[in-house]
Amino acid sequence: MLRNVLLVGLLSLGISTGTDAKEVRATIIDRDGNRFEVRDLKLEGQKVLFLVRGDERSKLRFREIRKIEFIGGRSEEEMPVRVKLRDGRLLEGTVYVGGLVGYVRGARLVSFTGHTDLGKFTIPLRDVREVFFYGGVLLRRCPKCGRMFEQKDYKFCPYDGTKLELVEVDTTKMDTLEARPDTLRR
């Protein structure tokens, strides 16, 4: 009896659930420019995006995607997107964002779900502008001088006026040095 219980216990350790064990982390930027750091990101309970390109429907795992950009305005059923993969390829197509399910049930919106530091998080796809998948944080960088800025309101470099770009920074591998005070220049 004890041997059977141990055997069943050992066999159950090797059973896989078939889902990605790694937690998906991303930054979601909505259409108003608000930024959300989301853990355990899912789309309708799955870690995949279904992209329609012509007659072809592709299934892209979140771990293969670096960035999703929702092009155009809010839409009721389908939205054009640009997907940048981690291998460098750029795919364009449409994704289903919601629509009428039936007269009685009304409209149903497809949503991203996950967790933030404040708790559970849900946002309909049609309210999303960009999604960055990564293991770090998004900062603004000046392509000319290389300085990094955490302020989300900055659009241009305060030092040389160059338009800032969003970059992904992995904070777990980054050595940070504290900047010396700026008071010596006066």
Per residue in 45-67, pLDDT tens? Answer: 999 999 999 899 999 999 889 89
Provide mean pLDDT across the span 79-101: 86
Rounded CA-CA distance 158/137 in Å is 21
In the block, residue with structure tokens 């309210």: 127
Tokens of 22: 């790694």
Question: How do residues 2-13 score in pLDDT, each as one tens digit?
Answer: 445 444 444 444
Low-confidence winner among 48-62, 75-89, 171-185 (lowest mean pLDDT): 171-185
Residue 130 in this model has a pLDDT that exceeds 70: yes
- Please tell me what DSSP assigns to residue 30: E
Give the pLDDT confidence score for residue 5 in this predicted structure.
44
Mean pLDDT, residues 27-46 taken together: 93
Domain ranges of the chain: 26-133, 135-175
What pLDDT, on a 0 to 100 scale, did the predictor assign at position 59? 94
Query: Is the C-alpha dihedral spanning 123, 112, 169, 21 positive or negative?
Result: positive
